[in-house]
């Protein structure tokens, strides 16, 4: 049974060196003296006395002296008179509302700085870091992504020889005109989704669904040139660096809130969208410059975009691609367009174009992967994300 | 499985110093008591949840500290309260240091992962394994922090031992548990508790753990038999978990020793049913509310969806990605998570703590009279790792 609280001495002192209880008499003079059997065993200066946690009775500690020394006062009148002598800071046990306000303020400051880093610092760093990454490392990253992406997309690479030859001709011409200093591999995937994906390291997947939407070789050429622009600017690599940095920082913030992963994913999706809009514009400009150099109309690519997405000109913050009509106008207004419109030779003759469109025809497109694109570093292929 | 810091109530010891020792008469049992008021605790965790939301989670260090201070200071051992002298600032610093250590680890993992994914598409396993071993280390170091921040009658509890040594033992035992289909669990618990208590002390009173795997097995084997059918039927799960935890706590408290000071727990097998059922009920209610909220938000979005071409089907994907819809889903989700946190802290932390404390008796306390000696206070690095890794280490 617990000892009866009533027969406790009015004050008990623990010296912080042993757990022996010292029943003491308190002498309140210039400082607080504790007497045991008439001998003063401790003196505390009032200014150094602070409250310690306790259960229903006053417990005090002292800043000067042994850190674990404690004075317990069971007598309420004595406790009240002693509390009155303490400085204001000694009266609460450090759990006031002022503390919460302070924490909220500092946390908000930390959040703002982390957000600023996520929005501006990391993209800037990614842009600066990407050129420093050796091509071989980027290639490796692409290979790693490739395995994962192919596992998700299903489908197969279409390799009908005459179609593949036509595609190779087109890619060759575009690569030369665009001045890309690295090998670019373009493959057609037997997926019904109208999209294309570019991996870090320079591999481009054009889905069969997109190939079927294209009506002229110029439209497809514009699209491939656009994806080559991503390769040229190393956008895939930049995305990987940015997404990694963002995940890490936001993970810091929500370290312990369950579902931090979901928050990270959402934040990355938003950021990706916002920041890849610029990348898309740059890739569009690259595409326009490339096909113009070949003497073909850049606006054809814009027509393809509008056909895929409709002429709806509303965008949300989750749109990674600028709205199609806007892009069409921009492509049509590309410098030098008027003079070179269709002045160059056609990129593919009719037979070549038909062969390319039938590149997947030798097998039934059995697998219909859903509209979900890769969730890995390259996230540019859900329904919203148009080439 | 971490034994929450309740360990420290075991540091309880001593009777009023007897004026004249009477070795002939057996010493009466002393009791542990819990005087914390439920409304006080409820207010504390609800306000904490709100502040966690406002501070994007940074408040967690202060909330954890306040919860511990509340539980410790209202737990009386032979009439004297425990005191938790840890401070949130220490947890914050521990977390920041842990983060600084983790950055290169994550980076290295990323590069290794790059190599590994070329071999197979989904190679997430290595990180899970590394995290798992690390969790053992973090759990041990976290316990050390909590134990060394526990004061009773002006004396600190102390803890030594190696976090890495503990983690390796844990891994080895867990392997055995898996191989034996769970039958080795009692012996795993006994071995790990022996290691923890062997390195725990109160002043000069060395801690020890006398529990055996055999004793625990004899009390718990029916649960092992019921586990598979129970999990398949879903409904009995809270019963099974509650019974298992109660048996474990009772066995654990009853086998703790500090020098000649012994403990005995009168916790029954069904003592924790109520706690687990209340928590389950609230969790289900919160999940249903979240479902309704989600349905409402998406329903409104679908109703407002427009078709990209006139007469075509509405573009739902577009509508569901509207920022307002995303924000609505996020708010609902966060509220659910925070609500769940409050429920868990009230029913599974405070109530279980109170029940265990109230059913614990102490024998031979006079052995602890006049104990001296002070361990040193350990750093909060383990707690930092635990926080950074999103590990729930008992939540206390």
Q: In chain A, whose CA is at the least distance from the CA of B82?
A: A54
List the one residue out of A57, A60, A52 whose CA is nearest residue A75: A57
Closest in A110, A151, A310 to B58, CB measured: A110
Closest in B60, B151, B153 to A256, CB measured: B60
Can you tell me the mean pLDDT for A296-321? Answer: 67
- At residue A366, the pLDDT reads 40
Better-scored residue on pLDDT, A335 or B326 = B326
Can you tell me the mean pLDDT for B315-321? Answer: 68
- At residue B171, the pLDDT reads 93
Pairwise CB contact (< 8 Å): A1 & B31: yes
- Asked if residues A313 and A359 have their Cβ atoms less than 8 Å apart, the reply is no
Name the least confident of A53-57, A166-170, A241-245, B17-21. B17-21
Give one word for B153, left, alpha or beta, with left for phi > 0 and alpha for psi -120 to 50: left
Pairwise CB contact (< 8 Å): A140 & B118: yes
pLDDT band of A387, cuts 50, 70, 90: very low
Pair of tokens at residue A28:
């309140």
What φ, ψ does residue B369 adopt, rounded to 5°? Answer: -65, 135
Q: Looking at the complex, does the CB of residue A254 fall below 8 Å from at least one CB of chain B?
A: yes
Cα-Cα end-to-end distance for chain A: 77
Q: Looking at the complex, does the CB of residue A268 fall below 8 Å from at least one CB of chain B?
A: no
- At residue B395, the pLDDT reads 37
> Chain-wide mean pLDDT for chain B?
81
Better-scored residue on pLDDT, B188 or A175 = B188
Better-scored residue on pLDDT, A387 or A148 = A148
Closest in B31, B317, B368 to A19, CB measured: B368
- Asked if residues A188 and A208 have their Cβ atoms less than 8 Å apart, the reply is yes
Closest in B52, B121, B374 to A151, CB measured: B121
Q: Looking at the complex, does the CB of residue A140 fall below 8 Å from at least one CB of chain B?
A: yes
- At residue B394, the pLDDT reads 36
Nearest CA distance, A248 vs chain B (angstrom)? 9
pLDDT band of B355, cuts 50, 70, 90: very high
- The residues near B200 (Cβ < 8 Å, ≥ 6 apart) are B7, B147, B157, B158, B159, B207
> Strand A185-189 to strand A203-207: parallel, antiparallel, or no bridges (unpaired)?
parallel
Pairwise CB contact (< 8 Å): A248 & B106: yes
Can you tell me the mean pLDDT for B253-260? Answer: 91
Residues of B in contact with A312 (CB under 8 A): 308-309, 315
> Chain-wide mean pLDDT for chain A?
76
Task: Please say if the pLDDT value at position A307 is more than 90.
Answer: no
- At residue B396, the pLDDT reads 39
Q: Which SS3 state, helix, strand or coil, does residue A169 take?
A: helix
pLDDT band of A10, cuts 50, 70, 90: confident
Pairwise CB contact (< 8 Å): A317 & B387: no
- Asked if residues A378 and A197 have their Cβ atoms less than 8 Å apart, the reply is yes
pLDDT band of B276, cuts 50, 70, 90: very high
Q: Looking at the complex, does the CB of residue A266 fall below 8 Å from at least one CB of chain B?
A: yes
What φ, ψ does residue A89 adopt, rounded to 5°? Answer: -70, -20
Pairwise CB contact (< 8 Å): B374 & A52: no
pLDDT band of A54, cuts 50, 70, 90: confident
Pairwise CB contact (< 8 Å): B333 & A259: yes
Q: What is the pTM of this model?
A: 0.74
- The residues near A214 (Cβ < 8 Å, ≥ 6 apart) are A220, A223, A304, A357
Task: Please say if the pLDDT value at position A199 is more than 70.
Answer: yes
Percent of chain A scoring above 90 in pLDDT:
2
Q: What is the DSSP letter of B234?
A: S
Better-scored residue on pLDDT, B8 or A284 = A284
- Asked if residues B141 and B383 have their Cβ atoms less than 8 Å apart, the reply is yes
pLDDT band of A362, cuts 50, 70, 90: low
pLDDT band of A7, cuts 50, 70, 90: low
Percent of chain A scoring above 70 in pLDDT:
76
- Asked if residues B5 and B394 have their Cβ atoms less than 8 Å apart, the reply is yes
DSSP bridge pairs for B329? none
Q: In chain A, whose CA is at the least distance from the CA of B384?
A: A255
Q: Which of residues 31-60 of A touch B (CB under 8 A)?
A: 52-56, 59
What φ, ψ does residue A18 adopt, rounded to 5°? Answer: -135, 170
- At residue A125, the pLDDT reads 82
Pairwise CB contact (< 8 Å): B83 & A2: no
- At residue A373, the pLDDT reads 36
Q: CA B327, CA B34: separation in Å to the nearest integer?
A: 43
- The residues near A62 (Cβ < 8 Å, ≥ 6 apart) are A44, A45, A48, A49, A50, A69, A71
- At residue B187, the pLDDT reads 94
Q: In chain B, whose CA is at the least distance from the CA of A258?
A: B337
Q: What is the DSSP letter of B372?
A: B
List the one residue out of B395, B387, B396 whose CA is nearest residue B135: B387
Q: Looking at the complex, does the CB of residue A15 fall below 8 Å from at least one CB of chain B?
A: yes
Residues of A in contact with B102 (CB under 8 A): none
Can you tell me the mean pLDDT for A109-125? Answer: 82
Pair of tokens at residue A75:
């007598």
The tens digit of pLDDT for each residue in B126-183 reads: 667 777 888 888 889 889 999 999 999 888 899 988 889 999 999 999 999 999 988 8
Residues of B in contact with A2 (CB under 8 A): 30-31, 33, 76, 78-79
List the one residue out of B380, B57, B61 whose CA is nearest residue A107: B57
Task: Please say if the pLDDT value at position B12 is more than 70.
Answer: no
- At residue B16, the pLDDT reads 33
Q: In chain A, whose CA is at the least distance from the CA of B389?
A: A255
Closest in B56, B372, B390 to A107, CB measured: B56
- At residue A379, the pLDDT reads 34
Q: Which of residues 159-188 of A touch B (CB under 8 A)?
A: none
Q: In chain B, whose CA is at the least distance from the CA of A377?
A: B114
Give one word for B169, left, alpha or beta, with left for phi > 0 and alpha for psi -120 to 50: alpha
- At residue B3, the pLDDT reads 47
- Most confident option among A169-178, A239-248, B49-58, B68-77: B68-77
Nearest CA distance, B207 vs chain A (angstrom)? 17
Nearest CA distance, B280 vs chain A (angstrom)? 17
Pairwise CB contact (< 8 Å): A19 & B155: yes
Can you tell me the mean pLDDT for A254-280? Answer: 62
Can you tell me the mean pLDDT for A279-300? Answer: 84
Mutation target vs A (from B34, B58, B354; most A CBs, 10 A cutoff)? B58
Pairwise CB contact (< 8 Å): B35 & A56: yes
- Radius of gyration, CA atoms only, chain A: 36
Q: CA A313, CA A328: separation in Å to the nearest integer?
A: 11
- At residue A321, the pLDDT reads 62
pLDDT band of A385, cuts 50, 70, 90: very low
Closest in A111, A262, A384 to B56, CB measured: A111
Pairwise CB contact (< 8 Å): A318 & B69: no
Residues of B in contact with A151 (CB under 8 A): 121-122
Q: CA B72, CA A93: separation in Å to the nearest integer?
A: 14
DSSP bridge pairs for B76? B33, B81
Task: Please say if the pLDDT value at position B390 is more than 70.
Answer: no
- At residue B110, the pLDDT reads 65
Nearest CA distance, A289 vs chain B (angstrom)? 30
- At residue A95, the pLDDT reads 59
- At residue A93, the pLDDT reads 61
- At residue B392, the pLDDT reads 37
Q: Looking at the complex, does the CB of residue A265 fall below 8 Å from at least one CB of chain B?
A: no
Residues of B in contact with A244 (CB under 8 A): 110
Nearest CA distance, B180 vs chain A (angstrom)? 32
- Asked if residues B198 and B161 have their Cβ atoms less than 8 Å apart, the reply is yes
Q: Looking at the complex, does the CB of residue A263 fall below 8 Å from at least one CB of chain B?
A: yes
């Amino acid at each position: 049974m617990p000892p009866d609280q009533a027969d406790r001495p009015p004050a008990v002192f623990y010296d912080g060196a042993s757990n022996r209880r010292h029943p003491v008499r308190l002498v309140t003079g210039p400082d607080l003296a504790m007497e045991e059997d008439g001998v003063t065993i401790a003196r505390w200066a009032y200014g150094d006395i602070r409250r310690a946690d306790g259960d229903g009775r006053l417990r005090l500690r002292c800043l000067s002296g042994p850190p674990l020394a404690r004075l317990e006062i069971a007598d309420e009148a004595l406790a009240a008179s002693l509390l009155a002598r303490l400085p204001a800071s000694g009266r609460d046990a450090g759990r006031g509302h002022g503390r919460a306000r302070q924490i909220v303020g500092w946390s908000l400051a930390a959040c703002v700085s982390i957000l600023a880093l996520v929005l501006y610092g990391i993209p800037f760093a990614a842009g600066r870091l990407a050129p420093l990454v050796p091509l071989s490392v980027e290639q490796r990253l692409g290979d790693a992504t490739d395995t994962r992406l192919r596992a998700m997309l299903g489908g197969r690479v279409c390799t009908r020889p005459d179609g593949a030859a036509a595609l190779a001709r087109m890619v060759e011409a575009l690569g030369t005109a665009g001045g890309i200093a690295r090998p670019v591999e373009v493959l057609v995937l037997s997926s019904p989704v109208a999209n294309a994906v570019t991996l870090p390291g320079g591999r481009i997947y054009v889905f069969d669904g997109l190939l079927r939407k294209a009506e002229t070789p110029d439209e497809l050429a514009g699209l491939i040139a656009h994806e080559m622009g991503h390769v040229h600017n190393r956008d895939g690599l930049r995305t990987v660096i940015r997404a990694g940095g963002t995940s890490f920082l936001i993970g810091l913030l929500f370290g312990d809130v369950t579902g931090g992963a979901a928050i990270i994913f959402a934040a990355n999706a938003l950021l990706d969208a916002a920041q890849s809009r610029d990348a898309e514009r740059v890739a569009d400009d690259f595409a326009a410059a490339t096909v113009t150099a070949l003497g073909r109309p850049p606006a054809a690519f814009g027509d393809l975009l509008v056909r895929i997405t409709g002429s709806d000109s509303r965008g949300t913050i989750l749109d990674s691609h600028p709205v199609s009509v806007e892009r069409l106008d921009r492509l049509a207004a590309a410098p030098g367009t008027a003079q070179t419109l269709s002045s160059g030779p056609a990129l593919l003759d009719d037979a070549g174009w038909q062969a390319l469109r039938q590149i997947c025809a030798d097998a039934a497109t059995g697998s219909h992967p859903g509209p979900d694109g890769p969730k890995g570093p390259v996230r540019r292929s859900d329904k919203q994300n148009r080439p | 499985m971490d034994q929450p810091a309740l360990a420290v109530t075991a540091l309880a010891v001593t009777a009023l110093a007897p004026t004249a020792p009477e070795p002939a008469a057996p010493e009466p049992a002393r009791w542990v008591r819990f005087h914390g008021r439920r409304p006080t605790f409820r207010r504390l965790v609800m306000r904490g949840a709100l502040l966690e939301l406002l501070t994007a989670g940074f408040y967690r260090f202060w909330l954890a500290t306040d919860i511990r201070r509340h539980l410790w200071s209202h737990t009386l051992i032979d009439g004297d309260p425990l005191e938790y002298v840890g401070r949130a600032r220490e947890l914050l610093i521990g977390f920041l240091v842990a983060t600084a250590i983790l950055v290169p680890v994550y980076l290295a993992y990323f590069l290794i992962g790059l190599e590994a994914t070329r071999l197979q598409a989904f190679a997430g396993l290595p990180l899970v394994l590394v995290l798992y071993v690390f969790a053992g280390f973090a759990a041990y170091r976290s316990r050390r922090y909590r134990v060394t921040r526990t004061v009773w009658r002006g004396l600190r509890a102390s803890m030594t031992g190696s976090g890495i040594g503990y983690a390796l033992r844990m891994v080895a035992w867990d392997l055995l548990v898996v191989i034996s289909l769970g039958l080795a669990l009692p012996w795993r618990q006994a071995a790990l508790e022996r290691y923890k208590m062997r390195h725990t002390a109160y002043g000069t009173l060395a801690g020890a753990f006398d529990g055996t795997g055999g004793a625990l097995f004899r009390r718990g084997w029916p649960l092992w038999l019921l586990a598979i059918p129970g999990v398949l039927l879903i409904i009995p799960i809270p019963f099974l978990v509650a019974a298992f935890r109660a048996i474990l706590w009772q066995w654990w408290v009853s086998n703790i020793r500090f020098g000649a000071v012994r403990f005995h727990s009168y916790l029954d097998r069904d003592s924790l049913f109520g706690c687990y059922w209340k928590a389950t009920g609230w969790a289900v209610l919160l999940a249903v509310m979240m479902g309704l909220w989600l349905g409402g938000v998406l329903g409104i979005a679908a109703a407002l969806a427009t078709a990209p071409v006139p007469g075509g089907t509405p573009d739902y994907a577009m509508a569901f990605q509207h920022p307002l819809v995303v924000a609505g889903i996020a708010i609902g989700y966060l509220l659910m998570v925070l609500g769940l946190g409050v429920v868990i802290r009230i029913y599974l932390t405070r109530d279980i703590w109170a029940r265990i404390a109230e059913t614990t008796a102490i024998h031979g306390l006079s052995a602890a009279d006049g104990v001296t000696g002070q361990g040193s206070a350990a750093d909060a690095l383990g707690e930092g790792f635990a926080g950074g890794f999103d590990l729930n280490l008992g939540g206390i």
